[in-house]
Structure 1
Amino acid sequence: MPQVGAPLSRRAALVLAAAGAAQLSLPRSVPARPAAAAPPAQDAPTGVRDTVVRLLAARARAIAGRDAAALSASAADGAEESDRDLLTRTAGLRFTEYTLKPTSFTEPAPGARELTVAAELGYRLEGVDDYPALLERQLLLTAEPDGWRVARETPSGAAAPWDLGTVRAVDGRHGLVLGLGEESELTALADLADRAVPVVEAVWGDWKPARLLLELPLTEQQFATRMDVPADAYQGIAAVTLAVGGAPVHTPADRIVVNPDAYRQLSDLGRRVVVTHEATHVATRADTKPWTPLWLSEGVADYTGYQGTGRTARQIAPELAKDVQAGRLPVDLPADAAFTAGAAGIAQAYEQAWLACDLIARRYGQDRLVALYRTVGQFGSGGLDRAMRAQLGVGVAEFTKSWVAEAARLRS
């Protein structure tokens, strides 16, 4: 479904930091279809179809160009105020592309006064988007004496940031933050992005774009509306990384959407880990494939997220440590199902994943961890054991034994 990016996962991990705990949603890569003009509806007569195409294109140009007069010219009677409000809500955004293309509508009956059009909104933001983000929209057109005009435009899936209210934009060295709250909070988030990018680059090398786009809605309900999910679907989850809907599969994910309620409960360290963790998913998306095991993709994100924090293994993996002390020692690397949101033992799964990746980095070198991640993606489905032998010199079974022994050290 074309939208501004499907959440790359609904999995969650516990971030246990100095003065707070919250969950964050962690992604895996999903293919995204290339950007393309949506075909106009074939069930409408050519004359009406062409009129709709021109009307939506004119509306898009007016919004992108901030042309109030042109936007008013495409608006139905009574819609002028809402369109002026739209220009206010998008005033802080710098669009390099903004399109509205009809995807489907039914031929209006003779004398019909209204026409409902499904459309695709594509937009790119200056300095961050190489490809357009895509959203599903629904437009109500009304017949006026001088032709069809736009009476209303609403999201039919995930909302655009400006659907939620007037968007503020704060630039950092390595990121752009969009939000509806206080500028001080947005600036603090931009500062965390600026700190996160060099940490990620130190592990993964230069990545493009090394400029993060973060969104901070004002409330959890706005977060849910932005994501087109029930309000409680991401309760307690601090952030979600999205993939741009119009980008090729090799293009990095491009949006981190922060859940304000959960994020505000985190300590300063917790927020730092969350942003760096999500930035890692952005940087590694090109190498993350459907067959990449979640213990590896989530583990490297936590490994990178905790770089330079000075936290010990027991502080990073407290739930796993409790299990080990109680005699519940893991015997296998966590399966993908263990990372499902709401699964029993999900905290332990993420901690086990971190421990595995930390062990690889300490025993074989951080460069081998990075090489393993990329090789797993290159070797295809079922290639994990071969990739581990190629990069680490040991297979899955032998590594698992070492990992279990490492977990046992948490007993003391």
Structure 2
Amino acid sequence: MRAAADQQAEVTALLAERARALAAGPPALPLAEAGYRNLVLGPAGAPDRLSATAELAVRVAGHDEYPVVYPRRLALLRTPGGWRVEREESVGGPPPFWDLGTVAPARGEHTLVLGLASGPDAAGLAAVADRAVPAVGVLWGTGWAGRLLLELPATEAQFARLLEADPAGWTGMAAVTTAAPGAPWHTPADRVLVNPEAYGGLSDFGRQVVITHEATHVATRADTRSWTPLWLSEGVADWTGYRGSGRSPQQIAPELARDVAAGRLPTALPVDQDFTAGSAGIAQAYEQSWLACELIARRHGPERLVALYRAVGAAGRGDDREQWMDRVLRAELGLGLAEFTDLWLAEVRRLKG
């Protein structure tokens, strides 16, 4: 028992030093907190070897209010100088960003970008994100953190790894907002993960729209619920991204405009499944959603669009989504779901020009 306790103490001290070294770099990572917890040791088939599982809890300075938790598995080897870590890897869940390589962070006024030394320019992304934060704040107010944490891997495969997703399903998706592992829901611990290949192929304007879209998701996290229809949450994000751009509906919704010109018209607002990564028609689903929110903002004002979004989040899940959406729309806009859908379909038809 004594030997086991000594072993536990030695490994605990080793991991405490390892966590300190992680934050210290080089290059130094902007971590306000880093440590291993819930350590469990086990045999590894030889007296000089151990296996271990633990949770690596970290908090990025200035961004995370709660520790972000990564389950880890470690292989330990006893040497003349004491125990050392031979290997460390993730055990379920997305890996921490530094598992991908040497981190090269870039800071902006409102943003922190975790990039890789071998990857694309993190400073350029920080500049784009710095413009997105105040643009989102003008519409969505100050009831959010007012800052962004972005992760910019070097390859699309790394991007998919951070999402625990099939890379083929995320080809063409420039960025996505995701909650940090282990963080409580509705905290400012959200990460914007950027696909370097899809994002790198965009124009400067396209990059700004994408990052402003993702910043909107961060800003609206506290008002977004599982029952919020994706046509509304993705629509307001796209509408915020394109707001004030001067682009025509045909320019903002080119795939939908082509469908309309070819006589392929939707019959209802997009359903959540239409937004599944890699699905056919996903571009049209986003464009249809933008057009729905554009219609609301133009007829009732941007403030009413924001109020509707928050009212949906506050409404609570009902037995029938169409019924409670109908009630919220009547309360906020003075028209029901069927009438709103008819107005929206008329807007869709106008794309034919």
Q: TM-score normalized by structure 1?
A: 0.78
The match for 1:281 is 217
Q: How does 1:98-113 map to 2 (within 5 A)?
A: 98-102=34-38, 104-106=40-42, 108=43, 112-113=47-48
Rounded to whole Å, the distance in 1 between the matches of 2:306 and 2:5 is: 51
Q: Choose the corresponding residue for 1:142, options 40, 55, 77.
A: 77
Matched, 1:217 2:153: yes
The match for 2:321 is none
Please state how far the C-alpha of 1:208 moved relative to its aligned partner: 2.8
The match for 1:48 is 4
Q: Choose the corresponding residue for 1:156, options 88, 91, 107.
A: 91
SS at match of 1:100: strand
The match for 2:190 is 254
Write the deviation string for residues 122-181 of structure 1: whole angstroms up to 9, x where unpaired.
101111111111212111123456865433222234222222221111111110111114
Aligned residues of 1:55 and 1:149 also touching (Cα < 8 A): no
Aligned residues of 2:31 and 2:59 also touching (Cα < 8 A): yes
Deviates more, 1:202-211 or 1:231-240: 231-240
Alignment length, in residue pairs? 347
The match for 1:338 is 274
Higher relative contact order (CA 8 A, sep 6+): 1
Aligned residues of 1:181 and 1:217 also touching (Cα < 8 A): no
Please state how far the C-alpha of 1:89 moved relative to its aligned partner: 5.3
Please state how far the C-alpha of 1:242 moved relative to its aligned partner: 1.6
Q: TM-score normalized by structure 2?
A: 0.90
Q: How does 1:11-410 map to 2 (within 5 A)?
A: 48=4, 51-52=7-8, 54-55=9-10, 57-66=12-21, 91-102=27-38, 104-106=40-42, 108=43, 112-144=47-79, 148-157=83-92, 158-181=94-117, 185-382=121-318, 383-410=324-351
Aligned residues of 2:19 and 2:36 also touching (Cα < 8 A): no
Counterparts in 2 of 1:104 and 1:61: CA distance versus 1, 3 Å: closer
Flag structure 1 segments of 5+ consecutive residues without an equivalent.
1-44, 67-85
Rounded to whole Å, the distance in 2 between the matches of 1:50 and 1:207 is: 49
For 2:277, the aligned partner's letter is A
SS at match of 1:369: helix
For 1:314, the aligned partner's letter is Q
Aligned residues of 2:69 and 2:183 also touching (Cα < 8 A): no
Counterparts in 2 of 1:393 and 1:172: CA distance versus 1, 3 Å: same
SS at match of 1:232: helix
Counterparts in 2 of 1:128 and 1:101: CA distance versus 1, 3 Å: same
SS at match of 1:237: coil
